[in-house]
Amino acid sequence: MYERILVPTDGSAEGTAAFDHAVDLAAAVGAAVTVLYVADTNSDSVTLVGGEVVDALEQEGERIVAESVERASDSGVAVTTAVEQGDPPATILDYADREGCDLIVIGARGSRGVRDYLLGSTTERVVRGTTTPVLTITPEEE
């Protein structure tokens, strides 16, 4: 059924819910999961820290994907990570194609708020831009 599940995340509650759902699905069907964070090149994120040039978004991405791996540590599911730079929807679509992912599991909304409503959400652009099946997840109300 599915062998390679891609989960793009921005660290939001929706992204975390999508990741948890993907891990459960992967455990049920014997698939592997890749969690992808895209450092949005549309945003300024490079800064100087202690004389070293640092990309704050890439650092944030590394933290988020590491937390995802930790969340799945007891699941028995193989989880790999990727942090890439680019426009989020285009980078997600390119990654899914390049890596041969056969399902994308993504949060229905992310952390970008009003900007998404004005410019078109990442999730909507992913759904419309791929022939790969996409499963959108909304976290359960607490």
Residue range 78-134, pLDDT digits in tens: 999 999 988 999 999 999 999 999 999 999 865 555 444 434 589 999 999 999 999
- pTM: predicted TM-score of the whole model, two decimal places: 0.85
Q: Is residue 56 included in any domain, yes or no?
A: yes
Q: Is residue 142 included in any domain, yes or no?
A: no
Q: What is the domain extent for residue 15?
A: 4-137
Indicate which CATH number applies to the domain containing 9: 3.40.50.620
Residues 110/122, Cβ–Cβ less than 8 Å: yes
Q: Is residue 109 included in any domain, yes or no?
A: yes
User: In 3D, which of 87, 107, 95 has the Cα closest to residue 14?
Assistant: 107
Q: Is residue 33 included in any domain, yes or no?
A: yes
Residues 123/136, Cβ–Cβ less than 8 Å: yes
Instruction: Tally the domains of the chain.
Output: 1
pLDDT in tens, 8-49: 999 999 999 999 999 999 999 999 999 999 988 766 545 544
